[in-house]
Amino acid sequence: MKPAPRFTPFFAFTFLLGLSCASSAQLPPSVGEQPLPSLAPLVERVSPAVVNIRVSQTVRTRSPYADEMFRRFFGLPDLPGGSQEVASAGSGVIVDAENGYILTNNHVVENANKIEVFLYNNDSLEAEVVGTDPATDIAVLKVEPDDLVEIPIGDSNELRVGDFVIAIGNPFGLGHTVTSGIVSALGRSGISRDGLEDFIQTDASINPGNSGGALVNMRGELVGINSAILSSTGGNIGIGFAVPTKIASTVMRQILEFGEVRRGLLGVTIQTVTPQTAEALGVSVKYGALVADVAPDSAAEEAGIKVGDIIVAVDGERIETNQDLATAIGLKGPGDRVRIEYVRDGDRRTATAVLQERTTMAGVGADIHPGLSGATFATVTGGDGGVEVTDVQPNSPAAQRGLRTGDVIIAANRVRVRDIESLQEIAERSDIIFLLVRRGDRQLMLQIR
């Protein structure tokens, strides 16, 4: 039986092998009097804006499980306990030549000790991380702005299924490689367990090492940052995913302005509406996000949202699932006004909510308990409080123990958790913590050692 497909970041643990170009059988310049179309002028214009990224990082192994994950996804031999220095290759896109800003994926530069950027002419520059956002898998780097070439950022909202696109990146550490295809689907989610997602799906051939590379439309504009593939082998099978520029641009703008991403808070607990739940509820709408709880004094309560309402659109964009709503709100900042369309008692209504600010403590997981390392938290305002998991780093202790982004911790060792401070007080008294977690419309117990 064939192994089930898996979603894999385009991250090749290998040394750069130098620049190369993909080639195929040569076509004649024309057939009779009719010249053949060529993407060469477009490729020549945008390729200098795509860079290869070499990262030196320390890989720490924590358990046989972690070793197995590295062997499966990255083709590495067994690693001894402790840590080991490795080199990895990815891609990036110059989007601001004047200031030296480069967009790439968070997982390309995560835990990097040193980042080296190779330009199209093979010149190398040392890069520093300006900021990262694991939830969208976007990172912003900066290099010295010396004779750089940038690519204009296009509007990914204008993409349609069937549009032609090209992908440029560094597959398998081979250097600049160009492939072409079409937009296969839009608005894909459920690719990453813990992310904010609205992926572009494409059949342009992309492989490990393409992470952070460019997805370009036929006008030579950047419309996506290549991020993940669906594959049973780790190689390309024609199903790739890119973070659209509407997300990447928003994240970059906040990182450059604040040094971090600040997300707005609506203050609702939600679950996906399916045809089955719609039938059980006796409602005609068979999609959307059902409001299961509204926090007191939250943006949602002030806008008039109530338990039982079904949110079907935010700022005109259709909401199919609870993940769609989490992404729509998560990409907006505190103070933003959002137009929410919802269904109540069979009537479609509209409300305007002014998003509040999350009270987030970044990196607090390791400070609370070693088993929570890799997670960040925010105190839930209103109601009985609680602690929301705002981010979980892949393969971190917190992730391995089952925590997910969006979980709300409501108790620890049978004691009510109202805020981060109360969670920390409980954790300080015990090496093992049993967390009672609310995930969507259900509760579960997680053991944290």
In residues, how long is the chain?
449
107 is catalytic: yes
| DSSP states of 211-226 | TT-EEE-TTS-EEEEE
Catalytic residue among 88, 91, 205, 211: 211
User: 115 and 126 in contact (C-beta within 8 Å)?
Assistant: yes
Chain-centroid distance, C-alpha 278: 30
Interatomic CA distance for residues 89 and 175, integer angstroms: 9
- Three-class SS of residue 442? strand
User: Beta partners for 205?
Assistant: none
211 is catalytic: yes
**Interstrand relation of 30-31 and 240-244 (parallel, antiparallel or unpaired):** unpaired
- Three-class SS of residue 30? strand
Interatomic CA distance for residues 220 and 46, integer angstroms: 6
Burial (0-12, 13-18, 19+ Cβ within 10 Å), 250: middle
Chain-centroid distance, C-alpha 365: 20
Instruction: Record the tokens describing residue 312, joined without a space.
Output: 């079907």
Interatomic CA distance for residues 443 and 437, integer angstroms: 6
The alpha carbon dihedral of 243, 244, 248, 250 has a sign of negative
Interatomic CA distance for residues 260 and 255, integer angstroms: 5
| DSSP states of 55-94 | EEEEEEE-SHHHHHHHHHHH-PPPPPSEEEEEEEEEEEEE
Interatomic CA distance for residues 401 and 437, integer angstroms: 12
Catalytic residue among 137, 198, 309, 391: 137
83 is catalytic: no
Of 145, 132, 173, the C-alpha closest to 391 is 132
Q: Which residue has the tokens 């990447």?
A: 248
Indicate the DSSP class of residue 335.
Answer: T
User: 338 and 355 in contact (C-beta within 8 Å)?
Assistant: yes
Instruction: Record the tokens describing residue 438, joined without a space.
Output: 């609310």
Cβ neighbours of residue 412 under 8 Å, at least 6 residues apart?
A: 423, 426, 427, 433, 434, 435, 436
Burial (0-12, 13-18, 19+ Cβ within 10 Å), 307: exposed
Indicate the DSSP class of residue 396.
Answer: S
Catalytic residue among 47, 88, 91, 107: 107
Helix (H) or strand (E) holding 178: strand 177-188
Chain-centroid distance, C-alpha 430: 34
Catalytic residue annotation: 107, 137, 211
